[in-house]
Amino acid sequence: MNCEDARSQLLQYQQGRLELDAADALRAHLAACATCGHEDAAERMVTELLEHRLPQHPASLALKRRLAAGWPASVPQRVPWWRQWARPLVPALAVATVLLVALPVVYYQRTTVRDTNGTSRMVGEAINDYLRVLSSQHPVEIQSGGIHQVKPWFEGRLDFAPVVSFAGDQDFPLEGGAVGYFLDRKAAVFVYRRRLHVISLFVFRADGLPWPTQGLTPLGRVRAYTEVARGINTILWRDGDLGYALVSDVDSSELHALASKLAGNT
Amino acid sequence: MAWRSEGLDAGAALGREALAYADALHNLAHYLTGNAADAEDLVQETYARALKAASQFTPGTNLKAWLFRILRNTFISLYRRRRNDPTVGGLDTVMPAIAAPTDEAWLRGDLELDRLRKIVGEEIERALMALSEEARTVILLDLEGLTEIEVAEVVGCAVGTVKSRLSRARTVLRQQLRDYA
């Protein structure tokens, strides 16, 4: 090792950063070379001066407080690309999830409410028409001499042909018929009896009406909706282009018995 | 690599660790700017920039060296350009003669060691401030315990350059001290 090599390694040697072999070689050189030995001593002295005598200028407490106050509890962090996308997507996905869950519920509720409102409207109309029949001085305009006498009577009075095949029997005799209104349209009114009870059957065009879609039960080859309101039973069903509303204050099972006969024969 | 920590917020943890280096950063800032007011501003700006760049810090690396690099870059961008500092020439172009005959004579008599022992703090500070900014920087960073690799990252040069710059800087410093002695 020459002097130039030795001096180039002095600082590393003094800081203990030389490899063991290189440190041994330099140590041997310093022991043999007075000039490099002095250089070593002078460098150590400079280091000591810098470490122990050079004035230090630490940060003031005020500065440290300002620095601490300026560093928030949370700082932006480097995140993977998918997290960068995920950050805005999460709320969007959350909204989408809520919509996916909520929309069917809202739709169901809205349709149910609409369904319920429409059905109630139909039931209410059926009951009111039934009550009008009851309160009428002449509930039937054509006295029944049989179904084949009543049905032809409607010709020219309605814009449709009511399909009713049940001509009445001992349990439910057909009393007669009349022309009435069901909501916004004309209706054929068939009046049956069950003992002293009046049973009204309204037959009308089924199109454009809020027919119930839920709570339907089988009735012959169709499905019917049953509701009790104001103590009066109402059974609604549609068959083809025609709608039927059977209304009475008779027992529900008896009204269903008649409904089965009507629906089975219509 | 994502920078995260378990439980404790990583940003807050980094902030606390960074604040532990405030004294060392302010000391370097003082020797770079030459006055307390500019030093405080430089340190504050350094922390502000560190906060903005916190996500770029790689855990496991030397935070102190990272902060020193920000401080030095901030100094260059904010202070050095507006100052007409005659000492900013760089050691690579201003190289004192090493082991000149007069120096050899000075050294051989061990007079240097005797005089160095009498140097006071104010004199060594004045000698240090007489060096170029680059010379001061490498000497102070070396004093802070940074490795040559870390110093190279701070000042933005090759490791071998750091080694030669440090050697030259100390040689110039010794010449300055000799003048005071």
Q: In angstroms, what CA-CA distances link A53 with A58, A150, A194, B116, B132?
A: 14, 127, 121, 11, 20
Other C-beta atoms closer than 10 Å to the C-beta of A21 total: 8
- What is the H or E stretch that residue A3 is in? helix A3-8
Closest by Cβ to A67, choosing from B3, B22, B174: B22
Closest by Cβ to B26, choosing from A53, A59, A74: A59
Q: What angle do CA B98, B103, B106 make, to 5 degrees?
A: 150
Look at B2 and A77 and tell me if their CB atoms are within 8 Å.
Answer: yes
- From the list A184, A173, A193, the residue with the least C-alpha distance to A133 is A193
Q: Which of B43, B45, B108, B172 to mutate to test the interface with A (most CBs of A within 10 A)?
A: B43
Residue with tokens 């490795």: B147
Q: Which of residues 17-36 of B touch A (CB under 8 A)?
A: 18-19, 22-23, 25-27, 30-31, 36
Q: Within an 8 Å CB–CB cutoff, is residue A43 touching chain B? A: yes
Q: How far is A95 from chain B (nearest CA, A)?
A: 28
Phi-psi region of B7 (alpha: psi -120 to 50; beta: other; left: phi over 0): left
Q: Within an 8 Å CB–CB cutoff, is residue A221 touching chain B? A: no
Residue with tokens 């040069």: B157
Q: Determine the residue type at B142.
A: D
Decide if B153 contacts B65 (C-beta within 8 A).
Answer: yes
Closest by Cβ to A53, choosing from B112, B120, B166: B120
Q: Determine the residue type at B148.
A: E
pLDDT on residue A74: 53
Q: What are phi and psi of A218, to 5 degrees?
A: -60, 140
Other C-beta atoms closer than 10 Å to the C-beta of B64 total: 20
Q: How far is residue A54's CA from residue A220's CA, in Å, rounded to a whole number?
A: 108
Q: Within an 8 Å CB–CB cutoff, is residue B174 touching chain A? A: yes
Residue of B nearest to A51 (CA): B143
Look at B55 and A63 and tell me if their CB atoms are within 8 Å.
Answer: no
Can you give the C-alpha Rg of chain B in angstroms?
18
pLDDT digits (tens, 9 = 90+) for B49-94: 998 888 888 888 899 999 999 999 999 988 766 655 545 444 443 4
Q: How far is A107 from chain B (nearest CA, A)?
A: 43
pLDDT per residue of chain A (266 residues) written in tens, 0 to 9:
889 889 888 988 998 888 889 999 999 999 999 889 988 999 999 999 999 999 999 999 999 988 888 877 655 555 556 666 666 777 788 888 888 887 777 666 665 555 667 788 888 888 888 888 877 767 777 776 777 778 888 888 888 889 988 888 889 999 888 888 888 888 999 999 998 889 999 999 999 888 888 889 998 889 999 999 888 999 999 998 999 999 999 999 999 999 999 987 65
Q: What is the dihedral of CA B112, A17, A55, B168, to 10 degrees?
A: 50
Q: Determine the residue type at B59.
A: P
Q: Within an 8 Å CB–CB cutoff, is residue A58 touching chain B? A: yes
Q: Which domains does chain B have, with CATH numbers?
A: 1-96 (1.10.1740.10)
Closest by Cβ to A57, choosing from B15, B39, B116: B39
